[in-house]
Amino acid sequence: MSTSTISFNQLTKRYGKQLAVNNLNAEITPGAITGFLGPNGAGKSTALRCLLGLASPTSGTALIKGVAYSELEHPLHQVGAVLDSRGFHAGLTARQNLKVITAAAGIKDSRVDEVLELVELTDAAGKRTKGFSLGMKQRLSLAAALLGDPQILVLDEPANGLDPIGIAWLRGFLRKFADEGRTILVSSHQLAEMQHTVDDVIIINHGEMIVAGDIKSVVGDGTLEDAFLKLTLKNQASSNSSTGGGK
Amino acid sequence: MNLFKSEWRKLIYARSTYGLLLASIALASLSAGVTPYVLSHARRFMGVDGLSQSAIVDTVYGKAASAYLFAIILGVLLMAGEFRQGTAVATFLAAPKRSRVFLAKAAMAAVAGAAFQLISAGIAIVTAKIALGFYPEAAAPSDTAILDTILAALILVQCSRWLAWQLALYFAAR
Ligand SMILES: Nc1ncnc2c1ncn2[C@@H]1O[C@H](COP(=O)(O)OP(=O)(O)OP(=O)(O)O)[C@@H](O)[C@H]1O
Ligand SMILES: [Mg+2]
């Protein structure tokens, strides 16, 4: 078992009969941006939730520096996460929502205004999140992930709802973050965007990994979209024939 | 301790807390304030003679503990509100050991519930004194009436804590 930044070791998660993640094995390269791709329902969010201790694996492990998230000493200082299931208290302001988190994690309050500035939400810091647009909520999620100044970021569709300026900003931000030697695992459906952002890709379908490697070797001469469609469709056909033949 | 501070912030930042506190004070004061009037009429017209003068006065003070319902609602909001809001994810990311989160919440529900009851009952006792002032013939309360009221208020809060705990476990299990 590796102690590199993030590792999935035969991770399997079952919801009743539904196999959400099936024997996933992967190592995330430190100091790089890894894109985590797959069709809807492929199991990306489930794998990330297992990694963050929000869901418990049926078998296998998802580890951070060789240990389970729940065993990390100061988790927010090590890992920052943006998740689709994350919510904010609508009646609290952006700043208050973050101060609830700094208190819980033992982070100093001065960090709150720093991260709000980073994600360019300073003007809305004192506003209740009830009135926030999708993109503003997404920025606030990112701000929350950055509170502990972590070495690792785990982002589930962070570009959701961001405007073009926001997306360009995010791309630059992730690049800078990785160039500082930090590690990012980011899921997304925006393949054209990902092609120009990530160093490595992992593509999964039906909970199983179908390809992993650096972006050049996966994409070849075409686009990431071409490679994605070809790989997932091929995988679809082979899994259909195998289940069809098995029953 | 960090988690307790975080729960404290959730409590004092939320406007609903202050709405509930006002409602709690209003209900306790109202029931303590109108009881002398109701009881005096009951005695005159319906012949409620079973109660001694001092028992009536004690009843009035006892009404000051009657806003426990709001302490229960507060406890439920504190324990279960996060699952509805979706902020539970953020809390569990900061504190992945969930039993610690529940302990902090339970402690905060107990402390805040007790504070609610003490404030509401305290103000209601003053209201009761003023209301009884309109009835010069009223007897003095028994020595322990006010203390009993405050104790009753706090015991009711313990019940509220238990109820909130059960509800939170129910939601967490889902
Ligand atoms: N809490 C749950 N209970 C039951 N089934 C679940 C649960 N969460 C996920 N699943 C199932 O697990 C599978 C994988 O879902 P998951 O959300 O991980 O996919 P995803 O790759 O994140 O998809 P998307 O791109 O749409 O976000 C789906 O079939 C989904 O229905
Ligand atoms: Mg998802």
Q: Could you write out the DSSP letters of every residue in A187-204?
A: E-S-HHHHHTT-SEEEEE
* Rounded CA separation B106/A148 (Å): 26
pLDDT at B48 over 80: no
Residue B58: predicted pLDDT: 76
Average pLDDT rounded to a whole number, residues A66-72? 95
Protein residues placing their CB within 5 Å of the ion ligand 2: A 45
Q: How far is CA A245 from CA A18, A208, A242, B34, B170, in A?
A: 20, 19, 5, 79, 43
Hey, what are A228's tokens?
Answer: 């994605």
> Does ligand 1 come within 6 angstroms of the Cβ of A41?
yes
Ordered alpha helix ranges (H), B133-144? none
Task: Choose the mutation target among B4, B12, B84, B93 for the interface with A, i.e. most A CBs under 10 Å.
Answer: B93
Is B151 within the bounds of a domain? yes
Residue B56: predicted pLDDT: 73
CA dihedral A17, A20, A23, A28 (to 10 degrees): -170
ipTM: 0.89
Q: Which residues pair with A128 in a beta bridge?
A: A93
Å from CA of A20 to ligand 1 middle: 6
pLDDT at B51 over 60: no
Q: Taking phi first (over 0 means left), then psi (-120 to 50 degrees means alpha), and beta for anything else, what does residue A135 get? A: alpha
Q: Which residue has the tokens 């506190």?
A: B21
B171 confidence band (pLDDT: 50, 70, 90) = low
> Does ligand 1 come within 6 angstroms of the Cβ of A139?
no
Asked if A89 and B94 come within 8 Å (Cβ–Cβ), the reply is no
Residue B35: predicted pLDDT: 78
Question: Of B37, B38, B94, which Cα lies nearest the Cα of A75?
Answer: B94
A137 chain-B contacts, CB cut-off 8 A: none
Tally of domains in chain B: 1
Å from CA of B10 to ligand 2 middle: 28
List, for residues A7-19, the tens digit of each pLDDT value: 999 999 999 999 9
Nearest residue by C-alpha to atom 11 in ligand 1: A20
Is B55 within the bounds of a domain? yes
Residue scoring higher pLDDT (A150 or B99): A150
A117 confidence band (pLDDT: 50, 70, 90) = very high
Residue A245: predicted pLDDT: 40
Å from CA of A230 to ligand 2 middle: 21
> Does ligand 1 come within 6 angstroms of the Cβ of A204?
no
CA of A39, closest atom in ligand 1: 25
Q: Please tell me if residue A181 touches chain B, with a CB cutoff of 8 Å.
A: no
Domain residue limits at B111:
2-169
Q: What is the three-class DSSP state of A184?
A: strand
CA of A13, closest atom in ligand 1: 12
Q: Residue B35's CB: how many other CB atoms inside 10 A?
A: 22
Q: Which residue has the tokens 């015991």?
A: B155
Mean pLDDT, all residues of chain B: 79
Is B174 within the bounds of a domain? no
pLDDT at B174 over 60: no
Q: How far is CA B71 from CA B28, B40, B112, B125, B172, in A?
A: 12, 30, 8, 17, 21
> Does ligand 1 come within 6 angstroms of the Cβ of A38?
yes
Is B125 within the bounds of a domain? yes
Is B24 within the bounds of a domain? yes
Is B97 within the bounds of a domain? yes
CA dihedral B79, B85, B86, B91 (to 10 degrees): -40
Identify the H or E element spanning B54: helix B53-62
List, for residues A204-247, the tens digit of each pLDDT value: 999 999 999 999 999 888 899 988 998 888 877 776 665 544 33
* Rounded CA separation A87/A97 (Å): 10
A51 confidence band (pLDDT: 50, 70, 90) = very high
Range in A87-101, A159-173, A232-246 with the lowest mean pLDDT: A232-246
pTM, entire model: 0.86
Q: Helix and strand tally (H, E) in chain A?
A: 9, 9
Is B139 within the bounds of a domain? yes
Is B131 within the bounds of a domain? yes
Residue B84: predicted pLDDT: 77
CA of A84, closest atom in ligand 1: 27
Residue A1: predicted pLDDT: 47
**Which DSSP letter does residue B67 get?**
T
> Does ligand 1 come within 6 angstroms of the Cβ of A20?
yes
* Rounded CA separation A201/A224 (Å): 10
